[in-house]
Each structure stands twice: as structure tokens, then as C-alpha cells.
Amino acid sequence: MNFRNQLTLLFTGLTTVVLIFMGIIIYFFAEQYTRRQFFQRLMDRGVISAQMYLERDELSAASMQNVQRKYFQSLAHETLTIYDRNRVPKVAPGSSVLTVPARVFDEIDRKKQAEFWQEERQVVGLWYEDNQGNFYILVSAVDVTGTSKLRNLQEILLTTVLVGMAVMAAAGHFFARKVLQPIVSIVQEVNKIRASNLHLRVQERESRDEIGNLISTFNQMLERLETSFYMQKSFISNASHELRNPLTAIRGELEVTLMKDRSPEEYKQSLETLQKETGRLEKLTSDLILLAQTGFDEQAVRQDQVRIDEVLLEVKTDLNHQLPQNQLHLDFSDLPAQAELVIVSGNRNLLQIAVRNVLENASKFSEHQRVDVKLTCQDRQVAVQVQDSGIGIPAQEITRVLEPFYRAQNARSRSGTGIGLAMTEKIMRLHGSTIKIDSSLQKGTTVTLLLPIAK
């Protein structure tokens, strides 16, 4: 059963339950009112009957005529029974014996009146005091008119429920189709989207209701998927190209070397070339593995308390050991007095990789000239600012240098894989942090890493 039919049945069922409940309430109060009214009429009949038979000699002709006029308005299957105070039936013209249990007389003694049922009959009893003595007056009748009205009310209510069910089923089907029409349209539009046309989007709605929010969220997901597909496609293409270059160079060098016997100096030169290309291949493979590792979900990364100033010192020491010509200058002059303000939550190794990539790039593209690294604390964030005076990045390519394997036009003559900044950006996102890049051609580049202080 589809959702539209389920919604229709649910709507119809709820409406039917409400109609039945309202019908029961209406019938209940109508019945109570009808029975209560008839008991009151029987009570009036009892008083009139007592006056008719017991006070005939005490009433004037006009009063007697008025009593007779009321008495002659008889009820269906009406019976009248008069008992004396000893609970013995008193024979009177037009009276009949109505047998009742002793508890009814007891109730009349206590309350001076009583109301009860005998099968379909309604019976009232009352205590009547007269100069001839005290009597029990018992009157019973069948409320044919009231029962007929209640039966008619039952039929009306039942018909109303049945008609209401039919109307609500039709209305529910119509409104369910109306409500689900936007979802049907969304499904039709989504079915048109494939991996080959991820640029398509679901048409936005003017109203910002739940459907509008759903469309907006789905389009945002498509944006992320399109970016992910593009990045994956670019990653595979560039990774294949980058891996092929050193492998081709190694293969070519080996083929040329093996074509004929060579001198020891030529073999040494060939081995140095192979060593260089092998190192390049090793570096590229290592970067690819690290780039894949930084794709872990944030929940999977072990969260440690890491001091950023210590990370900078460790990375600087390591880089100076590898390349003594590096000129990395750390500036801790603006550090806060509280040590906890430079502590962040994250993975120490990944943060070292992110900082190392930025410092390596700054030193490499500035020809190992001075690189200033400043650590500050601002707005509950630790800021690592790396400034160099290198070749800079063209303005139109600043946002693209964060893509895996992408290298700016003016940087392609230098060695590298184009993975470093992309890896750093992923590590920053993994830690809920951001990376900002400001650059001017031939003037230098400033890279700022902003990390939230540990709570």
C-alpha cells in the first residue's frame, strides 16, 4: 500500500472515530434528556391521579374540571396503582395493581418519591398525604414517542457516520494527493539525476515550509556529491598522471642505461637519477596514503589535548634537520599568559602534517628565504600565521590550490605533487578548523590556520 492510500485511510479512520464518538455523546445526552422528561411527566401524572381519586370531594367544580382535562391526556400503556400506608392496594375506579418490590416502598419512605424501570416501562412512585390518610401512588407507562424519537436519532447518526466516512474518504484521497504532489514532483525530478548530470537541481519553492526545507537540503547534498564526484574524478586523473611520470622516467632511464655498456660514472649518474625519481615516487605514494587517511570521519579521529606552540617547535626542528637552509622564524611574542589558550582538541600527528605542509610550501616557493610564523590567540581560536615573500599565487587560482593535485601555473616548474595544501585543508576541516590564503604575485603568500581552543 502506497503512502497516499495509507494517509487517506488514516485520515478517514480518525474522522470516523471522531464522528462515532460525537454521535455517542449526542445520543447519550439526548436519551438522558428524553428519559428524564418522561419520568417528570409520570410524576405529574401521579399527582393528578391522586387529586382525581383521593380529593374529588375537596375540589371545586372548576378545579375538578381542570384536573380532569389534564388527566384525560393519557400516556401509552399507562397504569395507576394506589397503596395505603400499610402497602395494601386500594381499589379505586380506573386503578390497577402494579406489583413492586418492598425496596421501592422503602425508597419512597426515605425520599418521598422513587424512579425505576420495569422492563421497557418507566415507573414513578410518590408519597401522597390526604385527609383520608397517606398513600403510595405508583404510575407507569411506556414512552413510545420518546423511544421513536431516539430510534430516529440513531438512524440519523448512523447515516451521518456512513455518509461522513464516504465524504472523508474522498476528501482524504484528494487532500493526500494534493499534499503529496510536491513530493511526487521531487521524486520525478530526482529520478532524472544521474552521475553524468549531477549539475541538475530540484526546483526550489518560494515558500520556506517543510517541503522547501527538504528541497534545499537535498540540493545541498547534491552540491556536496557533485563536488565529491569532481574531486574523485580529478584525484584519479591527477594521481594516475603523477604516478606515471616518475615510473616513465625510471623505465626510460633503465632502458637507456641497458642499451649498452657504460662507464662507472655513467652508471652512477643513472643510479642517482633513479634514486631521485624513486624518492619522488615514494613521496607521492606517502602523500596519497596520508591524503586518504585524512578522509576519516571526525568521530574516528582520536581527540587529544595538543599545544600548538609545541607542534610548531617540533615541525621547525624536523624541517631544519632535513634542510638546514630553511629560514623559519617563530614569533611567540603575542602568546597569552594562560597556557590552556593555545591547547586544541585533535590528532597530534595530523596537525603536525598540516603545519609541516604549509611551512614546506612557504620555504620552497620563497627559495628558502625568511618565513615568519606567528602564533596568536583571538576570539577563542588559535591562529597560526605563515608569511613568506615568494612567488605568490594568481588571484584566480587561490581557491583551486586547495584541490588535490592542482598546482598554480607559476608553480609547475618546481618539484611537488600538489597534495600538500589539499591535505592541510582536509585536516583542518576534520578538526572543525579553517584555512585562509592571501597572496600577491611576486610579493608573497600568507596562510592562516584557525583552530578552536579546546573546551
In this prediction, residue 91 carries a pLDDT of 52
**All domains of the chain in start order, with CATH:** 3-148 (3.30.450), 195-293 (1.10.287.130), 299-452 (3.30.565.10)
Cα–Cα distance, 406 to 416 (Å, whole number): 10
Of 76, 72, 81, whose CA–CA distance to 46 is shortest?
A: 81
Cα distance between residue 78 and residue 298, in whole Å:
89
pLDDT tens profile 26-78: 999 999 999 999 888 888 887 777 777 766 555 555 554 555 455 556 677 87
> What pLDDT score does 398 carry?
80
- Spatial CB neighbours of 408, under 8 Å, sequence gap ≥ 6: 393, 394, 397, 400, 401
Max CA distance (Å), the chain: 160
**pLDDT value, residue 25:** 94
Residue 63 has a pLDDT of: 55
pLDDT for 156 equals 93
Name the nearest CA neighbour of 104 among 92, 118, 90. Answer: 118
Query: Which residues neighbour 437 within 8 Å (Cβ) at sequence distance 6 or greater?
Result: 393, 398, 401, 402, 445, 446, 447, 448
| CA atoms within 13 Å, Cβ hemisphere of 441 | 8
State the pLDDT at residue 442: 80
Give the DSSP letter string of 160-182: HHHHHHHHHHHHHHHHHHHHHHH
Residues, the chain: 455
What is the spatial distance between Cα 26 and Cα 33, in angstroms, rounded to a whole number?
11
Q: Write out residues in the chain with pLDDT < 50, as ranges.
A: 64, 68
Query: Residues 271, 277, 278, CA angle at the centre, nearest 5°?
Result: 85
SS3 327: strand
Within 10 angstroms of residue 25's Cβ, the number of other Cβ atoms is 10
Secondary structure of 25-73 in the HEC alphabet? HHHHHHHHHHHHHHHHHHHHHHHHHHHHHHCCCCCCHHHHHHHHHHHCC
d(CA 287, CA 361): 14
What was the pLDDT predicted at 383?
A: 92
What pLDDT sits at residue 100?
A: 82
Question: Which contiguous run of DSSP H or E holds residue 128?
Answer: strand 121-130
Contact 67, 52 (CB under 8 A): yes
Instruction: Provide CB contacts within 8 A for 288, sequence distance 6+.
Output: 239, 419
pLDDT value of position 450: 92
Q: What per-residue confidence (pLDDT) applies to 284?
A: 65
DSSP-derived letter for residue 454 is: P
DSSP for residue 366: T
Alpha carbons 101 and 312: distance in angstroms, whole number: 105
> In what helix (H) or strand (E) does residue 217 lie, and over which residues does it extend?
helix 210-258
* Predicted local confidence at residue 301, as pLDDT: 57
